[in-house]
Amino acid sequence: MKPLIAVCGSDEDDENLGDKALKIAEEIGKEIAKRGAILICGGRGGIMQSACKGAKEGGGITIGILPFSKGEANPYVDVAIESGLGHFRNYIIISSADAVIAICGRWGTLNEISTSIILGKPTILVKGTGGVVDEIIENKILENIEGRYLIARDAKEALDLAFRFIR
């Protein structure tokens, strides 16, 4: 069975979302595909779209768990699943994943990170991407919690960490 790697992060309307984070998301998506895994995410814009785009460029498969309808899916989602759950869909994304990679983000991403830690999933935060990810790293939030997060500096390191813990 192919591993499922969740990529979570800012939607396209996040004012903190920058080109660096989008580029890293695309690289991570491409690397997920190259390593034979499947990308799962919230299926919308921003980080999710960039990661899906990278995965498609790498010949991979993408799954989007949408808040309400398939019409919300970005153009790079192969399998669009209507959850009808709004942000509660985050639990489905994270519980389905073998590892979780977080980039930038706001409250929804923070929810996915905390859910991932609670469920004991390998949780990788990509440093230097902004948003809640850098707030957690720089302020050492959750640092002393059992099953804490791992920190990556780039796409390759993020995937190396993910695969170290899922294989």
The three-state DSSP-derived secondary structure of the chain is: CCCEEEEEECCCCCCCCCHHHHHHHHHHHHHHHHCCCEEEECCCCCHHHHHHHHHHHCCCCEEEEECCCHHHCCCCCCEEEECCCHHHHHHHHHHHCCEEEEECCCHHHHHHHHHHHHCCCCEEEECCCCHHHHHHHHCCCCCCCCCCCEEECCHHHHHHHHHHHHC
Give the CATH number of the domain where residue 81 resides: 3.40.50.450
> Structural domain tally of the chain?
1
Render each residue's pLDDT in the chain as its tens digit; 167 residues: 999 999 999 999 999 899 999 999 999 999 999 999 999 999 999 999 999 999 999 999 999 999 999 999 999 999 999 999 989 999 999 999 999 999 999 999 999 999 999 999 999 999 999 999 999 988 877 766 666 889 999 999 999 999 998 86
Q: What is the span of the domain harbouring residue 141?
A: 4-166
Q: For residue 145, what pLDDT is reported? A: 66
Q: Is the pTM of this model over 0.85?
A: yes
